[in-house]
Amino acid sequence: MLYGDTLRLPGEFLSPKSQPSCEDPMSYIARLKSKMAILSPTPTSYHGERKVFIHRDLASSTHVFLRHDSVKPTLQPPYDGPYEVIQPGPKYFRIRVHGKETTVSIDRLKPAHLLDGDIERPAQKPEEGSTSADPLEAAGPILQESATTTTRSGRRVHFPKKLAEYIP
């Protein structure tokens, strides 16, 4: 109505207004069979072997994070840990989870890159020329044990020793 032309149906956009040609049904069937013979089915998804990313440092790591394979509530981290590696293997690792040895597939593991202070190790002998056996003490006051304050809600806040004089 706006442009002074009749409305068109969606089918009229794709085909011309002329009458469809009357074709011999036998030739149409022969063309249809030849076209269908060319088609090949699309392969379905193969569920056998999945490619799983395995970190290259996993074989040499001493501690690992363990992935949850369950439905998780909102904002729950996907990995737990770090857990100590007892015995690495090509497909399974033996790790210590909450004091118990557990065998876990490497598909669920991620290496934990920890600082030296994060790992509990037996005491070592001090090196010659060193004044302290503890490397944290030699690093300075920032890495030493920090002062702890508890907030009204019960949370503990840790401050470096050099800021202890500013704590009320």
Does the residue 89 lie in any domain? yes
pTM of the complete model: 0.43
Q: Which residue is it, tokens 């030296």?
A: 116
Does the residue 68 lie in any domain? yes
Does the residue 128 lie in any domain? no
pLDDT at 71: 87
pLDDT bucket at 42, cuts 50 / 70 / 90: confident
Does the residue 120 lie in any domain? no
Q: Give the pair of three-digit tokens for residue 163.
A: 């800021």
Does the residue 151 lie in any domain? yes
We report the CATH number of the domain holding residue 98 as 2.30.30.140
Q: Measured between alpha carbons, how far is 36 from 41 in angstroms, rounded to an integer? A: 11
68: containing domain: 63-113
Number of domain units in the chain: 2
Phi/psi of residue 13, each to 5°? Answer: -70, -30
pLDDT of 85-128, one tens digit each?
999 998 999 999 999 999 999 999 999 988 776 655 434 444 44
The mean per-residue pLDDT over the stretch 17-44 comes to 78
Q: Measured between alpha carbons, how far is 113 from 102 in angstroms, rounded to an integer? A: 21
> Do 145 and 109 sit in the same domain of this protein?
no
